[in-house]
Amino acid sequence: MTAQALIGKILFYILVFIIVVVSVFPFYYAIVTSFASGSQLFQINYWPPSLDLTNYNTVLFARNFPRSVLNSLFIATTTVVFALFLAVTASYALARVRFRGRGLLLVTILAVSMFPQIAVLAGLYELVRFLGLYNTPWAMILSYTIFTLPFTVWVLTTFMRDLPIEIEEAAIVDGATPWVIITQVFLPLLWPALVTTGLLAFIGAWNEFLFALTFTIQETQRTVPVAIALLSGASVQEIPWGPIMAASVVVTVPLVVLVLIFQRKIVAGLTAGGVKG
Amino acid sequence: MANIVLKNVKKSYGAVDVIKGIDLEIKSGEFMVFVGPSGCGKSTLLRLISGLEQITAGDLVFDGERVNNVIPSKRGIAMVFQSYALYPHMKVYDNMAFGMKLAKSSKEEMDARVRKAAEMLQISHLLDRLPKQLSGGQRQRVAIGRAIVRDPRVFLFDEPLSNLDAALRVATRLEIAKLHHDMEDVTMIYVTHDQVEAMTLADRICVLRDGKVEQVGTPSELYDHPNSVFVAGFIGSPKMNFLTGEFAKAQNCATLGVRSEHLQIVPDGQGMWNGKVVHAEDLGSDHFLFVDVGSDEPLIVRLAGKLDTKLGARVGVQPLEGQMHRFGPDDRPLA
């Protein structure tokens, strides 16, 4: 190996190291902080000072935090189910059924995602009140589904367009209805796309703050981001950094686990497309 | 099993007419081949018969029953696609059984039919593999097997051999011919752009051009008595030699056609036409001489045995008696 190649390699790994540190360090520091208590919080530690689980105790056995986690789980899961169901059926129509105004409809769907959350907040609030969903999980499920759908529909439509049309025609000759085609022929082929879009929808719903804050009033209806933001200390002046960090770590774990479970599927999906069926 | 009649069948996409009124009868148990250059509408016609495309006007009749608005699965057809179109996530067995599963047939009957079809095509050992674990030829067999399991009245083939390499193509062609013998009451319709496939497989060939039927007939009818310059040029390999202008006028026609095997080489100056050998191809069993006699394209002469004529030699070319095709100015044959 020449000196030049060696230097190149060293520089490359230095760059990788920097990127990893910059992206992982904040989370690492949150973990460190979550183990600290009292005045330790205000010292700079790069290593957990002690394995003190007080903060976790405080959070997990606080009155409403476990409830918030369950709320978040329910809302995010239901959102994913609704969004995927609607998106799969819609994208079948958009990708495979010839009808007037299909292109326009696709662009309109994309245009919906241009609006910032804050712009539709007031209108959505009225809608939620009108439907009687205020202060229930369904308010969040509705609004998250609306905001996830454009992306999900677009990704699945592109994916579905690439599925060979002959497979669908073979299924038609075999006597399959559109519903059978979607569920028994296309869904198994769409798995990788479903996992990817579903995961992104889940993460979006899990992290969302503004709608969750606006559409809930009772502590028991809060989702995790709101609950964490509104964690209060002993007095108004005290921000309980320790419990906040412990809570952040707790709610990050499910996402990490999900990504780890599905990463094989995601990678398999990215590479499987090139094979002639 | 099915007698198929097309009455003035038309298909348009918007303002574009793809099929311009086709009348055709396909007899029960017949092997009919649609052949023509790309864009002539042969695949579209097959898809109209299958029901995957809607007929714009005209009647499509199966055994006396008008089926224009019957969905594909109820027409009693099975189709083999160029790209195999197997379900990638299903094992071979499930691929073949899918249609019967949807029709809610009994498990025993389904199993029996799948195994019988697999045996027929010698793919029994592949039943629990996925399509991606199979070679191209095996995939096409599975696709044919899937069609057999449906027990159709009509078998439709849409260029099934185009994705296979040359050796496999010949082998699979034989297999399809055998299938036709084994299932002699099933009507088969086969689309191809390859006139060799058409000649070797067909009971009758339908030559299509520009959305219309150009000629229908047995392979030898089409070969010996082409109905137009187009059919004469399309059927047969190498292509029929065509002479126009002064050459044709000498025979009182607008276009004169002679097949390569109906030409003889005679000493220079003694042939009907004389010229120089500009190119030669030796196929071992026989050889082709390309003789430039002053027409637009050199005449191709097919001769038995090894090549023994030098390039650049001057030779005479003499057509065999009664083997010239004379066409009038409308491209139709003259009596």
- Closest by CA position to A55, among listed A33, A74, A22, A81: A33
Once rounded to an integer, what is the mean pLDDT over residues B262-278?
90
- Closest by CA position to A117, among listed A140, A134, A99: A140
Q: Where in chain B is the domain with CATH 3.40.50.300?
A: 4-233
- pLDDT classification of A97: cutoffs 50, 70, 90: confident
pLDDT at residue B318 in the model: 92
Assigned CATH class of B241-327: mainly beta
Among A187-201, A253-267, B259-273, name the one with the lowest average pLDDT: A253-267
pLDDT at residue A263 in the model: 78
Q: Does B87 touch chain A (CB under 8 A)?
A: yes
Within 8 A of A271 by CB-CB distance, chain B residues are none
The one-letter amino acid at B22: I
Q: Where in chain B is the domain with CATH 2.40.50.140?
A: 241-327
Of B72, B86, B89, which has the smallest distance from its Cβ to A172's Cβ?
B72
Of B72, B79, B87, which has the smallest distance from its Cβ to A167's Cβ?
B87
Each residue's pLDDT tens digit, B271-319? 899 999 999 998 888 899 999 988 888 999 999 888 788 888 899 999 9
Look at residue A269 and tell me whether its pLDDT is greater than 70. no
Within 8 A of B102 by CB-CB distance, chain A residues are 174-176, 180
Q: A126-130: long-range contacts at Cβ-Cβ below 8 A with a sequence spacing of 24 or more?
A: A128/A215
Look at residue B104 and tell me whether its pLDDT is greater than 50. yes
Cβ distance of A170 and B77 shorter than 8 Å: no
ipTM above 0.85, yes or no: no
pLDDT at residue A86 in the model: 95
Within 8 A of B98 by CB-CB distance, chain A residues are 171, 174, 176
- pLDDT classification of A63: cutoffs 50, 70, 90: confident
Look at residue A273 and tell me whether its pLDDT is greater than 50. no
Look at residue A69 and tell me whether its pLDDT is greater than 80. yes
pLDDT at residue B259 in the model: 93
Q: Show the CA angle centred on residue B74, arms to residues B68 and B75, nearest 5°.
A: 55
Q: Does B131 touch chain A (CB under 8 A)?
A: yes
CB of B271 within 8 A of CB of B322? no
pLDDT at residue B229 in the model: 93
Once rounded to an integer, what is the mean pLDDT over residues B18-44?
92
- pLDDT classification of A126: cutoffs 50, 70, 90: very high
What is the nearest CA distance from A186 to chain B, expressed in angstroms? 9
H/E element, B49? helix B42-50
Look at residue B206 and tell me whether its pLDDT is greater than 90. yes
Each residue's pLDDT tens digit, B149-170? 998 999 999 999 988 888 888 9
Look at residue A235 and tell me whether its pLDDT is greater than 70. no
Q: B151: nearest CA in chain A?
A: A174
Q: Does B14 touch chain A (CB under 8 A)?
A: no
Cβ distance of B102 and A164 shorter than 8 Å: no
Give B141's strand partners: none
In CATH, what number does A61-272 get? 1.10.3720.10
Once rounded to an integer, what is the mean pLDDT over residues A35-61?
79
The one-letter amino acid at A179: W
- Of B100 and B306, the one with more pLDDT: B100
Look at residue A40 and tell me whether its pLDDT is greater than 50. yes
- Of B213 and A114, the one with more pLDDT: B213
pLDDT at residue A277 in the model: 38
Q: Does A175 touch chain B (CB under 8 A)?
A: yes
Q: Which CATH superfamily is B4-233 part of? A: P-loop containing nucleotide triphosphate hydrolases (3.40.50.300)
Cβ distance of A277 and B83 shorter than 8 Å: yes
Once rounded to an integer, what is the mean pLDDT over residues A97-118?
86
- pLDDT classification of A275: cutoffs 50, 70, 90: very low
In order, the DSSP letters of chain A are: --HHHHHHHHHHHHHHHHHHHHHHHHHHHHHHHHT--GGGGGS--SS-SS---HHHHHHHTSSSHHHHHHHHHHHHHHHHHHHHHHHHHHHHHHHH---TTHHHHHHHHHHHTTS-HHHHHHHHHHHHHHTT-TTSHHHHHHHHHHHHHHHHHHHHHHHHHHS-HHHHHHHHHTT--HHHIIIIIIHHHHHHHHHHHHHHHHHHHHH--HHHHHH--SGGG--HHHHHHT---SSTT---HHHHHHHHHHHHHHHHHHHHHHHHHHHHHHHHTTS--
pLDDT at residue B58 in the model: 93
> Could you give the strand order of the β-sheet that contains B325-327, starting from the edge strand earlier in sequence?
B241-243, B255-258, B325-327
- Of A178 and A62, the one with more pLDDT: A178
Within 8 A of A274 by CB-CB distance, chain B residues are none
B-contacting residues of A 187-206, CB under 8 Å? 188-189
Strands B154-158 and B187-192: parallel
Helices marked H in B229-321 — which ranges? 229-234, 246-249
Domain-wise residue ranges, chain A: 3-42, 61-272
Q: Does B54 touch chain A (CB under 8 A)?
A: no
- Of A64 and A132, the one with more pLDDT: A132
Quick one: tokens of A204?
């979006």
Among A259-273, B105-119, B173-187, name the one with the lowest average pLDDT: A259-273
pLDDT at residue A274 in the model: 41
Each residue's pLDDT tens digit, A181-206? 999 998 888 888 888 889 889 999 99
Helix (H, G, I), strand (E, B) or coil at B77: strand
Once rounded to an integer, what is the mean pLDDT over residues B316-325?
89
What is the nearest CA distance from B90 to chain A, expressed in angstroms? 9
